Chains A and B, each alone.
Chain A
Amino acid sequence: MTKLRKIKDVFFKWLFFAATAFGMLSLVVLVVDILYQGLPRLSWEFITNFPSFNPDKAGIKAAILGSVWVIGLTAPMALFLGVATALYLEEYAKKNWFTRLIQTNISNLAGVPSIIYGILGLALFVRAMKLGPSILAGAFTMALLVLPIVVVAAQEAIRAVPQTLRHGAYALGASKWQTIRGIVLPSAAPGILTGMILSLSRAIGETAPLVVVGAFVFVRFAPTDPLDKFTVLPIQIYSWVSQPKAAFHELAASGIIVLLIVLLLMNATAVLLRNKYQKRF
């Protein structure tokens, strides 16, 4: 009896280990597969060429510029709205039903499928505000999409600033806003920035909402205006994946390598920031 229990114990230990290994292994296989398919076509020309029907001349210049435009416009909007919302909830809001409503609503928004944001963007920004399938419409959509993540990260960072610091500022005669601007925000800045980078790395990888907004287009020019049509890197990859020819699948893999490198750099920056500025009060 005891022996059987021991055997069971060892068996399940290895079973649980195998399950854990499955996840790790999936990531390894995925990365190796993509490097194997994508490295041969990765070159400087690939980065600097516009898309083409000829796989040997096709590149991701327009997609990269589109992604930079969208993220460049999304970031300030999401940062301002996210930090303002977090400051309101943490520093000003009274504990009443409306504050609870805002808070519950934010956690529910984080669970809404991203394609629904695309539908909202299509109806509101593309059609009702008549922005068309433009960079600006895409950036508005993305800002709303990442807002819940930014708010939650900023709230955590603000909450981590100890009350004693605030009391110290008040004792010196600072007003509430002076305390927030001079003490709370600087102390919370690394945390806010980390959350911001992570939410933007989510936005860079998003495909579906921007397809719905109308960014699935063949762009052979560098966008110069927020109202220009655009495409982004994940959508360029998608359009290559959906081609039947193998050469385009290899291009898709090369595009994925570029996308993953960008994400890796962003995440590494976030981790470094967190480790460097993590204050222990």
Chain B
Amino acid sequence: MVPGVLFSSSLITVLTTVGIVLVLLTETVAFFGEVSIIEFITSDRWTPQFADKHFGILPLLVGTMMITVIASLVALPIGLATAIYLSEYAPERVRKVVKPILEVLAGVPTIVYGYFALTFVTPLIRSLIPETSIYNALSASIVVGIMILPMVASLSEDAMLAVPRKLRDGAFALGATRFEVALKVVVPAALSGIIASFVLALSRAIGETMIVTIAAGALAQVTFNPLESVQTMTAFIVNISLGDVEPGSIESKSIFAVGMTLFVLTLTLNLIAQFISRRYKEEY
């Protein structure tokens, strides 16, 4: 009897995935019963809450991509540099201080980061560039970058720590400097793990919700100016949920269609990350 109970419990995790897929699929199919899939892909206007309704996903995708790209510009180089410092340079007592602080940074709830973006980073940007909107993509994406930084740093560092000492010693014996060892021996040897950490970080940035809802605003528009307000897919879902949504209304169905897009995008990235770290793993 015990194995039966345990086995059934383990099925819950499988059923969760099945549930997510079924829920997203049925409501998305219902959504496309009312909105043409051509409009969803090609229209550049997203106005489900207006009288003149348009359902082009492009503005939400552009908003999400802009946040993700700028956040990556912050998190990937700084995260990788932090990982190199921790694994190649830092003395043990520095590591002992830095690692727990990074863990704390990774554990800060996103609502706290959202507050920080709106009340600290945004005023800072506006004092430098006065024409910046109160709600802007730049502030949100810098803070999303800070949020995903610890993940990049710790996963990349794990990959570098797995590179055997022998390889470093060989390079040192040939007269390489510490920097040359890090850049030409350790980073290439750990590359699959580093890239996997990058891809996972992108996926996290795409799925991030509260920072962008609070700091980037709710204006779904196709813009490439980070000083303007944008709406991401996640922020749209939150914004609709804040109001009273009638089940069965087109607004309600639209959050499932957007959720489906988000789910497929992040799942693809997660699978790519798994594939990279498995397929290109260097075995020593």
Give chain A's interface residues, CB within 8 Å of chain B: 5-6, 8-9, 12-13, 15-20, 22-24, 26-27, 29-30, 33-34, 37, 80-81, 84-85, 87-89, 92-93, 101-102, 105-109, 111-120, 122-124, 127, 144, 147-148, 151, 177, 201-202, 204-208, 211-212, 214, 216, 234, 237-238, 241-242, 249, 252-253, 256, 259-260, 263, 267
Contact = CB atoms under 8 A, between A and B. Distances in A.
A112 B20 contact: yes
A117 B108 CA distance: 20
Contacts of A267: 104, 107
Main secondary structure of the interface of A (DSSP, over half): helix
Main secondary structure of the interface of B (DSSP, over half): helix
A117 B183 CA distance: 40
B146 interface: yes
B266 interface: yes
A12 B177 CA distance: 11
B255 A119 contact: yes
B263 A241 contact: no
Given A208-B238, A216-B241, A13 B89 contact: yes
A252 B274 CA distance: 38
Contacts of A122: 241
A145 to B, nearest CB: 9
Interface in B5-56: 5-7, 9-10, 12-14, 16-17, 19-20, 23-24, 27
A174 to B, nearest CB: 14
A252 B115 contact: yes
A237 B82 CA distance: 32
B112 A111 contact: no
Contacts, number: 235
Interface residues of B, number: 80
Contact of B86 (A20, A80, A116): A20
A16 B82 contact: yes
Contacts of A214: 241
B259 A119 contact: yes
A148 B9 contact: no
A112 B77 contact: no
Interface in B196-229: 200, 203, 206-210, 213-214
A258 to B, nearest CB: 11
* 4 A-B pairs closest in CB distance: A113-B207, A205-B109, A19-B81, A84-B9
